[in-house]
């Protein structure tokens, strides 16, 4: 059977969706096991379950990236805007990353500049994916015991998110390629074998779909800062 481009993309999306369901169910069951919902577990059992959970979460992120790529191929660039509580969204991302944060003994801080952050018009699912890719990288590319700072600022004009880490940084000669599809830095590949090189490419396309900007500052071996700035729609 020969499939045309549209059919291939639909098949690809369906396969990714089908993969995500069992991965999410697995995540929930593993979390319940860890929390002792099915009875006490030993230290050895806990260590193994935590490792499986980490791999499961990495696969969920990869499937999300693939789903997003398929959507872009369909030219469904339109965004579904609703009023979003960005503070809550970032808190849920940090909570999702909790396993890695604890395992790597990362000190993570979330700083909000305003006392009360107003809700803003965004595509909730897409922005979640963009910010998650940035926070996930900060944790992934920071050695054990390091630090990650996330800050959020919303004023009348813009929403600004900054993610700063004390990690491996980005070599000067690789900076120009960072947002390219499938690009992975040499130092990143050495540190972290799991990765698709799609996260930043996707984050950039999402931020640009919101008419925003994404950029970074970094020094190798000293850490990185990633910035997202999105104009507020009223
Ligand atoms: P992946 O993390 O799967 O490799 P990304 O598209 O998310 O793919 O990132 C592309 C590359 O950018 C990474 O491989 C790494 O070289 C670099 N990078 C991204 N975030 C960071 C960071 N916080 N610190 C150091 N390098 C980073």
34 CA → ligand 1 middle, Å: 30
Query: Closest ligand 1 atom, CA of 168?
Result: 25
| Cβ atoms within 10 Å of 33's Cβ, excluding its own | 17
Q: Which residue has the tokens 């999300």?
A: 64
Helices (H), 74-198: 86-96, 98-103, 124-140, 186-191
pLDDT of the residue at 110: 97
pLDDT of the residue at 21: 84
pLDDT of the residue at 152: 97
| Cβ atoms within 10 Å of 58's Cβ, excluding its own | 18
Regions of the chain where pLDDT drops below 70: 1, 5, 73-78
53 CA → ligand 1 middle, Å: 22
What's this model's pTM, rounded to 2 decimal places? Answer: 0.81
224 CA → ligand 1 middle, Å: 10
pLDDT of the residue at 100: 86
């Amino acid at each position: 059977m020969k499939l045309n481009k549209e059919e291939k993309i639909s098949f690809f999306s369906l396969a990714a969706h089908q993969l995500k369901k069992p991965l999410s169910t697995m995540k929930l069951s593993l979390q319940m096991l860890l929390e002792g919902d099915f009875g006490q577990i030993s230290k050895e059992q806990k260590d193994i379950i935590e490792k499986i959970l980490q791999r499961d979460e990495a696969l969920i992120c990869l499937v999300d990236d693939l789903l997003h790529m398929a959507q872009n191929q369909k030219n469904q660039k339109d965004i579904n805007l609703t009023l979003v509580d960005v503070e809550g969204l970032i808190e849920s991302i940090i909570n999702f990353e909790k396993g890695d944060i604890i395992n790597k003994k990362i000190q993570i801080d979330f700083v909000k500049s305003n006392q009360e952050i107003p809700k803003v018009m965004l595509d909730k699912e897409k922005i979640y994916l963009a910010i998650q890719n940035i926070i996930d990288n900060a944790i992934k590319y920071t050695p054990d015991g390091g630090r990650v700072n996330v800050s959020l600022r919303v004023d009348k004009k813009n929403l600004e998110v900054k993610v700063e880490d004390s990690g491996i940084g980005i070599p000067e000669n690789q900076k120009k390629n960072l947002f390219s599809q499938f690009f992975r830095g040499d130092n990143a590949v050495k540190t972290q074998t799991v990765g698709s090189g799609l996260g930043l490419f996707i984050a950039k396309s999402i931020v640009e779909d919101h008419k925003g900007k994404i950029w970074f500052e970094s020094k190798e071996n000293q850490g990185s800062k990633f910035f997202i700035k999105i104009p507020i729609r009223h």
